[in-house]
Structure 1
Amino acid sequence: MKHLLLFRHAKSSWVNMDLLDFDRPLNERGMQAAQNMANYLSQHLPLPDVILCSTAHRTRQTLSALLQVYAHPVDIALRRCLYHASEAVLIDEIAKVGTPDVLMLIGHNPGLEVCAHLLCGTGDEKLRADLASKFPTAACVHLTFDISDWAEVKQTKGTLADFIKPRALDVD
């Protein structure tokens, strides 16, 4: 059984309009959401063996929040090609990973959302309807696949195991 976690970067800042989109950081709300999600994901979802992350500033900051709470060894690959990648590029990058059991991809919409829809074949109807309505910043999709190698992801559809949105977390 393989687990794929598609994690959209947290909310970015538009304060400095002189910055290129690639260089935009997370805003305060995004930093908090990234931390809250990192805490939740580390306690409730399988821990990733490999993380593929876009090299954009906001995705690297989202990754940083995860690394503050993950205490296990994880291989991290920063990939420029994931910046605003299409779903086809995302699926190709996933297919190249090999055999790790748990893979996380940190990226951007609309590619990440379209990728989630393409790879989601079955799962809880309420979760699927929720995913179909919106994939907000800092949300994470958990898909499972009955495959032995990520190269097979191209020929199969996953099962939606969970869809976590930061606003749904109970944070005191």
Structure 2
Amino acid sequence: MDLILWRHAEAEEGDDTVDDMVRCLTPRGVKQAHRMAQWLDRNLPESTRVLASPAHRTEQTVRALGRRYKLRPELAPGCRPEQLLAAAQWPDSKAAVLVVGHQPTLGQTIAQLLGMGDVELSVRKGAVWWLRRRDRDGLAQTVVVTVQAPELL
């Protein structure tokens, strides 16, 4: 199974007066989202299931891809890695799954899948981590297929 984790692109800064769920992408974030979406569209299998947090900034990010997607409330900011993995049906999904979400959940999920324990990896805004579950000699392994940052595309 392939699990592709995409952090939302750069968003407006929040403060106590702004609801975190309604923060929008900055102009730079819109460019990041479109650049990464073009790369993803060329590389994702057609059958990829696309899931996104219901936060406005993640929906803006995923819309740049131009594919059908589902907003999943359990992927909202503050979700736990277990919730993300359950939504993606890891490791049993027959199709690749793209999840558009937030830090620190994405970094925690990556660390967990790579056997790093309870640490949090840093995932840049707008970046993608592509992970693959495979069996090798009867042992399940998670491998990193690629890591892409929008600035490098």
TM bin (shorter chain): 0.7 to 0.9
Query: Take 2:6 and 2:12, find their aligned partners in 1: how far apart are those partners?
Result: 18
1:94 counterpart letter in structure 2 = A
Identity in percent: 28
- Report the number of matched residues: 145
Structure 1 counterpart SS, 2:18: coil
Map of 2:127 onto structure 1: 139
1:32 counterpart letter in structure 2 = K
Following TM superposition, by how much is the alpha carbon of 1:27 offset from its aligned partner in structure 2, in angstroms?
A: 0.5
Tell whether 2:106 aligns with 1:112: yes
Q: Which runs of 5+ in 1 are unaligned?
A: 122-130, 148-154
Change (3 A) 1:156 1:95: farther
Structure 2 counterpart SS, 1:146: strand
8 Å contact 1:48–1:104 — kept in the other structure?
A: no
2:152 counterpart letter in structure 1 = A
Query: Take 1:5 and 1:23, find their aligned partners in 2: how far apart are those partners?
Result: 24
- 1:12-54 Cα distance to aligned partner (Å, 9 max, x none): 0128873201100100110000000001111234445211110
Query: Take 2:63 and 2:126, find their aligned partners in 1: how far apart are those partners?
Result: 13
8 Å contact 1:37–1:138 — kept in the other structure?
A: yes
Map of 1:35 onto structure 2: 34
Q: Which runs of 5+ in 2 are unaligned?
A: none
Change (3 A) 1:18 1:97: farther
2:81 counterpart letter in structure 1 = E
TM-score (norm 1): 0.74
Structure 1 counterpart SS, 2:32: helix
Give the helix-richer structure, 1 or 2.
Answer: 1
1:83 counterpart letter in structure 2 = A
TM-score (norm 2): 0.82
Map of 1:124 onto structure 2: none
